[in-house]
Amino acid sequence: MDLSDVQLGIQHVSYYLFSLLYPYGLLSNENLTKGLVMRSIVVMALLMSLASLSVVAKEIYITIGSDAVSSSQKSMKSLSTIKMNSDISVLKVNEKEIPYLSKHMHDKFNRCGGFIVHESKEEALRVLADHQTRKSAKSTNFFNYTITKGETVRNMVSQVSEFGIRDMILKLSQFHNRYYKAQTGVDSQAFVKATWEKIMASRTDAKVEYFKHSAWPQPSVIATLEGTDHPEEVIVIGGHADSIAGFFGRSRARAPGADDNASGISTITEIMRVLADANYKPKRTIQFMAYAAEEVGLLGSKEIANKYKSEGKNVVGVVQLDMTNHKGSKNLDIVFMTDFTNQAQTKFMGSLIDTYVDGVSWGYSKCGYGCSDHASWHNAGYPASMPFESTMQDINGHIHTKNDTIDVAGSGGTADHAEKFARLGIAFAVEMGK
């Protein structure tokens, strides 16, 4: 249960008792000596005390786009600025107000999240101060990008199954929600892990495991296909596996999250299946990741990216697949986010579309700070790209509601749009993994 749920429950019971006692004069002086009334008042006082104690949630520190600070503080007066620059700001916020901030970022900026939660003030300030890491992650050419595996890639992309992607979207959507604190969020990740294990079952060079997080129950899932020649060089293809609907009582809310982000996890699953069925043996290690807790501040991916950085892992490329099955923009199929991403790798991915994904148009847009898990890798200094299903202006209006299903307009009950991303992902994996 969320802290906010406990607070509301205590307060509602307290107010209910008061409403029962007051109209009948039971709170008058002459009745205060009556045992029944006294017991009721004691209960009410205890509940009110608990309510006042329960609202003391811990203060946490976040980084957020500086463009969102002013409007956020107007909506939530308790937000305090610790430090800021032209791009990113560090704010202190009461943990119980995170749902309000999430709603504000969604309504005002069309950002899913739009901020990153940090373990400490010091960690948040380090992110703000590390201009050089972010500059390098954006402008450095980390890899010798070439397109040379034409026949191999074309044979593989022809094997992509729209039905397979659609079936996985539907199965993930059947969970009541995939909220990071709910049991269904844990169960849905167990399903992802079992599905990936089945795909990789015949591979002696593969493994699927949980990446467990100490602060919440939902784990991330990581499948590893080990490289033959350069296993220390890692390619990451990831997306978030959690879902939310509404902004309060999320642990109980119905959140099918078909587009956000069952579509991304299903696309990743199909990429993995095609590579496994082709018995593809990459020279570099490829890791497929289903992140926990993206919707509440990129928590899962931040832990993983920071751990990889602290261990000195050589991640040569990251792709984030977050929402792939809603064709929202009339003239564009795939839209690359240009902020907090690597320019050279993103340009390379555009070339992959032109070479291998026939009939698909692509372009550019911006999504702001912390809009998805690629920002975690970017902040850690790794090259990341985010191909998206539309421009942010044309974003799927059903996300974060019970109506985020595969049947809405823009998806139309099929995975046709997501299929394009699967083809792109296969091309990326093979051309990077060679």
Q: What are 43-85's pLDDT values in tens digits?
A: 454 444 444 444 456 899 999 999 999 999 998 888 999 999 9
* Least confidently predicted of 13-22, 228-237, 253-262, 374-383: 13-22
* Alpha carbons 131 and 135: distance in angstroms, whole number: 6
What per-residue confidence (pLDDT) applies to 302?
Answer: 98
Mean pLDDT, residues 270-282: 98
Q: Which residue has the tokens 């490829």?
A: 286
Mean pLDDT, residues 284-299: 97
What per-residue confidence (pLDDT) applies to 76?
Answer: 87
What per-residue confidence (pLDDT) applies to 56?
Answer: 54
Q: Which of 233, 242, 322, 333 is catalytic?
A: 322
What per-residue confidence (pLDDT) applies to 135?
Answer: 86
Instruction: Tell me which amino acid residue 121 is.
Output: K
Radius of gyration of the chain (CA): 24
What per-residue confidence (pLDDT) applies to 57?
Answer: 64
Q: Which helix (H) or strand (E) holds 94?
A: strand 88-94
What per-residue confidence (pLDDT) applies to 15?
Answer: 40
For 86, other C-beta atoms within 10 Å of its C-beta total: 7
CA 358, 317, 297, 273 torsion: positive or negative? positive
The band of 222, judged by pLDDT with boundaries at 50, 70 and 90, is very high
Exposure string for 162-176, b = 16+ CB within 10 A, e = fewer: eebbbebbbebbebb
Query: Are residues 248 and 4 in contact, defined by beta-carbon separation less than 8 angstroms?
Result: yes
What per-residue confidence (pLDDT) applies to 247?
Answer: 73
Q: Tell whether the model's pLDDT for residue 310 goes beyond 70.
A: yes
Q: Tell whether the model's pLDDT for residue 21 goes beyond 80.
A: no
Structure-token pair, residue 149 = 């595996």
Mean pLDDT, residues 387-397: 96
Q: Which of 260, 339, 373, 431 is catalytic?
A: 260
Q: Which of 259, 294, 389, 431 is catalytic?
A: 294
What per-residue confidence (pLDDT) applies to 52?
Answer: 44
Percentage of the chain beyond pLDDT 90 is: 77
Cα dihedral 56/58/62/67 (nearest 10):
10
Q: Which of 400, 404, 419, 431 is catalytic?
A: 400
Contacts of residue 189, Cβ cutoff 8 Å, sequence gap at least 6? 178, 210, 218, 219, 220, 221, 241, 290, 292
Q: Supply the DSSP symbol for 221.
A: E
Q: Which of 118, 240, 374, 417 is catalytic?
A: 240
What per-residue confidence (pLDDT) applies to 71?
Answer: 94
* Alpha carbons 418 and 40: distance in angstroms, whole number: 59
Q: Tell whether the model's pLDDT for residue 26 goes beyond 90.
A: no
Residue 257 φ then ψ, to 5°: 55, 45
What per-residue confidence (pLDDT) applies to 106?
Answer: 85
CA angle 260, 117, 115 (to 5 degrees): 55
Structure-token pair, residue 252 = 């109980």
The band of 282, judged by pLDDT with boundaries at 50, 70 and 90, is very high
- Is residue 260 annotated as a catalytic residue, yes or no? yes
Cα 348 to its chain centre, rounded Å, is 24
For 190, other C-beta atoms within 10 Å of its C-beta total: 12
What per-residue confidence (pLDDT) applies to 379?
Answer: 95
- CA-based nearest residue to 384, from 352, 423, 344, 354: 344
Q: Is 347 exposed, middle or buried (0-12, 13-18, 19+ CB in 10 A)?
A: middle
pTM for the predicted model, two decimal places: 0.87
Q: Report helix, strand or coil for 246.
A: coil
- Is residue 294 annotated as a catalytic residue, yes or no? yes
Q: What is the pLDDT of residues 158-191, one digit of tens each?
A: 999 999 999 999 999 999 999 999 999 999 999 9
What per-residue confidence (pLDDT) applies to 39?
Answer: 52
Mean pLDDT of the chain: 89
- Is residue 400 annotated as a catalytic residue, yes or no? yes
For 110, other C-beta atoms within 10 Å of its C-beta total: 19
For 72, other C-beta atoms within 10 Å of its C-beta total: 23
